[in-house]
Amino acid sequence: MLDLRTVTERLDETRAALARRGFTDAPALDRLGALAVARRDAIVDVEALRHRRNVASEAMAQVADKRSAEFAARRDELRAVGAEIKALEARQSEAERELTDLLARIPNLPDESVPSGSGEADNVELRVFGERPRFPHEPRDHVDLGVGLGILDFERAAKLSGARFVVLRGLGARLERALIQLMLDLHVDEHGYTEMWVPTLVKDTALHGTGQLPKFAADLFRIAKDAQWEREAEAGGHELFLIPTAEVPLTNLHAGEILDAGDLPVAYTAYTACFRSEAGSYGKDTRGMIRQHQFDKVELVRFVRPDDALAELERLTGHAEAVLQRLGLCYRVVELCAGDLGFSSKKTYDLEVWLPGQNAYREISSCSWFGDFQARRLKARFRPAPDDKPQLVHTLNGSGLAVGRTLVAILEQYQLPDGSVRVPPALRPYLGGLDTLRPPG
RNA sequence: GGAGAGGUGGCCGAGUGGUCGAAGGCAACCGCUUGCUAAGCGGUCGUGCGGUGUAGAGCUGUACCGGGGGUUCGAAUCCCCCCCUCUCCGCCA
């Protein structure tokens, strides 16, 4: 969420910055200004009245005889004031409700350093790590390889859960587990992250905090246990969502808190399953395990001082890259242009791994700096110095990495002509020293 | 799921309709003191939103005692709904 005061005071700048990322809802921004004025006026009025009531109430407390005519007269007068206050409060909360609804749907402002552009084609390749493997044969994709090795089973997954799920078998399942282990070890032991284990079912408030709601409800799986729960949810009671990423629980960990400056940066990592309904993506990546309703991910989240934020983004991105480097996977770093930025992000680097089977780079990690956008929604603050006022922290996160896609990349980049797959050396200790996955028989 | 208890400031903990943003203690910060041994004394010590402003000082108003609604001239205190925590029972990995 953007800061109302800043937006209204610098409407033109805000408009221009939002236009860069393709958000051009002029009426919404104009309405914001009008609402801000209406809100302030309502506050001034209601507070003046409340002041009057408080003063009068205090005087009433002094009246010894509560049954006197004087007391009754004052009471009757104040009764009217009370009603008026109620009406003004309604006016204020109406303006505030509309204001926050509006504000909650406005995306973050891209950082100045973010390149202009309207979509994926305008993203900027910053660097390439490693070399694309060359094959003496036509490279196969992970589906052929995985099914051939007997480690991926899409048909049985469909039997259980429908499209966009996978079953990992034998060494496939173990490979997945080994990757999780390697990633967590790296981030904890070498990058200084605190490992966390968090719920994968969260309340809607958590999703508001990181920005998935209210705008992207269609991408989420919502849990309605039964008809009664459904009704309670309507009434503001139970309602839980499967997390689309561990960013949600990890970032919400410090919602409503004031952190000590000395504790920053706070760095968390967690492995979780992630769930996405990807409602808008029918027909995209239908083959294989590139886009699944359920997938594993190791996530990195950092809470930092605003001054350090840009350097922190580089650091975080480096941590995610370290996984790919450790595994010897060829990838590139791409900076998203303004038009391709996620809703809450100020600046994002995508790591794209080379997939020989697709003859393309595909996203395997997305590292973003959110400025105070999430922190404002979360009310996550820190106190710069003991006597200072609390200030919003900056949040960052990145995948470190998407485990399923990492498995895909290993299968495709390390494939051999006979359909077997070499195991990256760094991973071998996690697989009992195994150096090659071979087809059965 | 059933029965009961409870949610108050960074923490502990008073407070059952008006003088309560809220006693007291701890922690923290500042100063003083220092032959009463990590001691003593004094002071400071919440956040949001408005107004004013020599505008990230100061002054001032207002709100906040889990969340929301209600009663009342007035609510931390009374009523209703919801959320959460704890204890016991049931169920369960």
The number of CA neighbours under 13 Å toward the Cβ of A269 is 27
Determine whether A57 is an active site residue: no
- Has residue A230 got a pLDDT over 70? no
Whether A61 sits with its Cβ under 7 A from any strand B atom: the answer reads yes
Q: What is the pLDDT of residue A225?
A: 57
Q: How far is the CA of A369 from the C1' of B16 (A)?
A: 50
Q: Are residues A215 and A252 in the same domain?
A: yes
pLDDT of A227 > 60? The answer is: no
Question: By the 8 A CB rule, do A328 and A427 touch?
Answer: no
The residue among A87 and A21 whose pLDDT is bigger is: A21
Is the pLDDT confidence value at A363 over 80?
Answer: yes
Q: Could you say which of A291, A305, A422, A428 is catalytic?
A: A291
A80 CB neighbours strand B below 7 A: no
Which helix (H) or strand (E) segment holds residue A288: the answer is: none
Say whether both A185 and A323 belong to one domain.
Answer: yes
pLDDT at A281: 66
Q: CB of A162 under 7 A from strand B?
A: no
pLDDT at residue A371, rounded to an integer: 94
- Are A138 and A264 found together in one domain? yes
Please give the nucleotide, over all strands, whose C1' is closest to the CA of residue A76: B73
A57 touches strand B (CB under 7 A): yes
Give percent of chain A with pLDDT exceeding 90: 57
Residue A50, domain extent: 4-104
Confidence of residue A8 (pLDDT cuts 50, 70, 90): confident
Judge if A132 and A263 occupy the same domain: yes
Q: Report the CATH number that the domain containing residue A34 is assigned in CATH.
A: 1.10.287
Same domain, yes or no: A94 and A124: no
pLDDT surpasses 60 at A48: yes
pLDDT in tens, A156-204: 999 999 999 999 999 999 999 999 999 999 999 999 999 999 989 888 8
Computed from CA positions of residues A58, A62, A67, A71, in that sequence, does the dihedral angle turn out positive or negative? negative
Residue A222 (CA) to nucleotide B87 (C1'), in angstroms, measures 33
Q: What is the pLDDT of residue A75?
A: 85
Higher-scoring residue by pLDDT: A280, A62: A62
List bases in chain B with any atom under 7 Å of a protein Cβ.
10, 18-19, 28-29, 47-51, 56, 61-63, 69-70, 72-74, 81-84
CATH of the domain at A183: 3.30.930.10
Rounded distance, CA A87 to CA A93, Å?
A: 10
Taking the C-alpha atoms of residue A301 and residue A393, their distance in angstroms, rounded to an integer, is 13
Highest mean pLDDT among A55-69, A260-274, A423-437: A423-437
- H or E segment to which residue A334 belongs: strand A331-335
Q: A104, A134, A156: which is the final residue of a domain?
A: A104
Q: Where are the alpha helices (DSSP H) in A235-381?
A: 247-252, 309-326, 373-378
Q: Does residue A110 sit within a domain?
A: no
Residue at A287 is within a domain: yes
- The amino acid that residue A248 corresponds to is V
User: Which bin fits A68, alpha (ψ -120 to 50), beta or left (φ > 0)?
Assistant: beta
Q: Which nucleotide is nearest to A390 (CA to C1')?
A: B47
User: What's the number of domains chain A is made of?
Assistant: 2
pLDDT above 80: residue A388: no
**CA gap A195, A200 in Å, rounded:** 15
The reply to whether the CB atom of residue A73 sits less than 7 A from any atom in nucleic acid chain B is: no
Tell whether A111 is covered by a domain. no
d(CA A226, CA A229): 5
CB of A393 nearer than 7 A to strand B: no
Protein residue minimizing CA–C1' distance to B17: A61
* Same domain for A152 and A59: no
Percent of chain A residues past pLDDT 70, beyond the cut: 95
Can you tell me whether residue A355 is helix, strand or coil? strand
- The pLDDT, as a whole number, for residue A19 is 94
The reply to whether A90 has its C-beta less than 7 Å from any atom of strand B is no
Terminal C-alpha separation, chain A: 57
How many Å does it take to go from CA A204 to C1' B25? 39
Residues 6+ apart with CB under 8 A from A143: A152, A154, A287, A288, A289, A357
Cis peptide bond prior to A356, omega within 30° of 0: no
Gap from A342 CA to B85 C1', Å = 37
Active site residue A79: no
Query: What is the C-alpha separation between A335 and A92, in angstroms, rounded?
Result: 42
- pLDDT for A183 equals 98
Report yes or no: A220 and A348 within 8 Å, Cβ to Cβ.
Answer: no
Report d(CA A206, CA A332) in Å as an integer: 32
Q: What are phi and psi of A122, to 5 degrees?
A: -95, 5
Q: Name the domain boundary from A104, A135, A160.
A: A104
Kindly determine whether the C-beta of residue A5 is less than 7 Å away from any atom of nucleic acid strand B.
yes
* A124 and A29 in a common domain: no
Q: Do A363 and A408 belong together in one domain?
A: yes
Question: Average pLDDT in the A422-441 region?
Answer: 95
DSSP, residue by residue, A398-417: EEEEEHHHHHHHHHHHTB-T
Q: Over chain A, what is the mean pLDDT?
A: 90
Query: How many C-beta neighbours within 10 Å does residue A275 have?
Result: 20
**pLDDT(A91) > 90:** no
CA–C1' A387–B34 (A): 28
A115 domain residue, yes or no: no
Å between CA of A41 and C1' of B20: 29
- Does residue A56 carry a pLDDT above 90? no
- The model's pLDDT over A283-325, given as tens digits with 9 standing for 90+, comes to 778 899 999 999 999 999 999 999 899 999 999 999 999 999 9
Asked if A65 CB < 7 A from strand B, the reply is no
